[in-house]
Homo-oligomer: A and B are copies of this chain.
Amino acid sequence: MSKYLPRLAAPWRGRPSLMALRHATTDCDKIAHTTVSMGRSLRKTSPSAYKILRTSVARLEQMIGMGHRIRLSEKEQAANAVIMAAKQKEIQRGLLDPSKFSPGKHIFETLSSIRKSPIFRLLKKMPKGGVLHAHDTALCSTEFLIALTYREHLWICTTDEGCRAIAFRFSVDKPTMKAMEACNWEPMEEFRQRRGEENVRRYLQQRFSMYPFSNFTSNNEAWSHFMGIFILLDGLLCYAPVWGDYYYNALQEFYEDGVQYLELRSLLPPLYCIGGEMLAIRDTVAIYQSEMKRFKASHPDFIGSKLIYAPLRGVEPKVVDEYVKTAVELNREFPDFMIGFDLVGQEELGRPLIEFVEPLLKMPEHINFYFHAGETNWFGSPIDENLLDAILLGTKRIGHGYAITKHPLSMQLCRLLDIAVEVCPVSNQVLQLGVDYRNHPAALMIAANVPIVISSDDPSFWRVAPLSHDFYFAFLGIAPMQADLRFLKCLALNSIKYSALRGHEKKEAFAKWQKLWDKWIDEVIQKNSA
């Protein structure tokens, strides 16, 4: 059996290749067959022979898993010792009293205590690469959103005798849109005076997030609440001057959280101006691109940002025909920036991909698909089957893919076709797919070496850091106890490898990331020896 070990344990430089992944699978089969041919029981071997074999097989099983072929430099090994000591401590405390283990609980109960965790602090500073799964109006901190409500000319629309906010709108005079004629509009400053500034702050803090609802009766109820936030934010964020600022601030917040690249999914709503005039969709993209360039110019370490056009899935197939045309036009005008397509909204209430096959097959090859698929726990449902359609339609990554572990063939296809699953741990918990991170299906993807990246989906609504909390749960709750710096490094590398960045862009991206990475490694070592 041990004859397989040297090859697997051999230094594995650089990033995983398809070939390496194929070998991992083949070796797993070989080992299994070898064990089979040895007979069903080892009772005739000596205890010491048993232990040698057992160690070999256990080590092999680990080697199959994600990141285990990365070889760390001496410095990285030193940093790893610091990180693993902190991890070990947190896990030991959890083993002694599982009720104190954060990844076993709901993020809304642990948000403030996690900020004090040494592991979290290390991860917060770690250069984590890029975020490849996040949505346009769910990026920024609640504090930034509240600050926006102080801008000039903002009106608020309330119901329940002025108690419940249902919309915002920037306007010199009282808004008069037909859709909201019956609305009780008042200037934001009056609303704030009437209700008291601190009360309004606290009220908005809640309305702009999923708090305090950690326990919905179902994921449908959670989704309905979730969609309500998007709707509430619509008039506040789709105002042309705010749209750009919001995105710029998001890049800033992400950058400060150790994120150097953002691949954004956006509905690309037409924006409105102060007089009510509407801009075109291409203007929405143009604003994004210009803000991105402005941010990049003042942050030389920043890799950049790209855009995935991701309109709503709950539509007739003919609407998807229009989507495809829009995507083609936008890509023609912004070929390096608007590079992909997806469909969004609760999969379970939208339509499955199979219904859109006809229009989707018309998408030209150079515009990539990045489909949401399998964000469900209904095994065997049409939503669940989205996974297969996403793969067969040639998706480059799978958004969420929560259900993919129930589909061995799809898992295998992801490995062979090098399709990464965008795992969003906190999102899955808040939207009620699962509670305990230790049961998150990504553990299996890690074990079986299905490529994954970690993303945050809608960090604004869960009030978490742009990426660090998701990394924290992936590292401490989802991955095996032994997962170390190699795992973390693999996640960061994957986020560049599986991005939409092109050849030369990717090369530059790796270099920018490496620079910050080396610096961080030094800091981790220094801080510990100080």
- B-contacting residues of A (Cβ < 8 Å)? 25, 28-29, 31-33, 35-36, 40-43, 45-47, 50-51, 53-54, 57-58, 60-61, 64, 95, 97-99, 101, 104, 217-221, 348, 354, 357-358, 361, 363, 365, 377-381, 384-385, 388-389, 392-394, 405-410, 412-413, 416-417, 433-436, 438-439, 441, 443-444, 447-448, 478-483
Contacts and interface: CB of A to CB of B under 8 A. Distances in A.
A29 B412 contact: yes
B217 A448 contact: no
A32 B413 contact: yes
A381 B61 contact: no
Describe A's contact surface by its main secondary structure: helix
A60 B378 CA distance: 19
A134 to B, nearest CB: 25
Contacts of A104: 218
Given A54-B389, A104-B218, A394-B41, A95 B381 contact: yes
A448 B408 contact: yes
Contact of A481 (B35, B58, B380): B380
Nearest to A412: B32
A444 B443 CA distance: 13
Contact of A50 (B43, B392, B413): B392
A308 to B, nearest CB: 16
B481 A40 contact: no
Contact of A42 (B377, B392, B433): B392
A525 to B, nearest CB: 25
A434 B444 contact: no
Given A35-B392, A47-B361, A379-B480, 10 more contacts: A32-B416, A43-B361, A45-B361, A50-B357, A61-B388, A61-B407, A378-B481, A379-B438, A380-B482, A380-B483
Q: Which of A217, A379, A478, A479 has the most CB of B within 10 A?
A: A379
6 contacts: A40-B417, A43-B363, A43-B394, A97-B220, A104-B218, A378-B438
A218 B35 contact: no
Nearest to A32: B412
A103 to B, nearest CB: 10
A377 B436 contact: yes
B434 A439 contact: yes
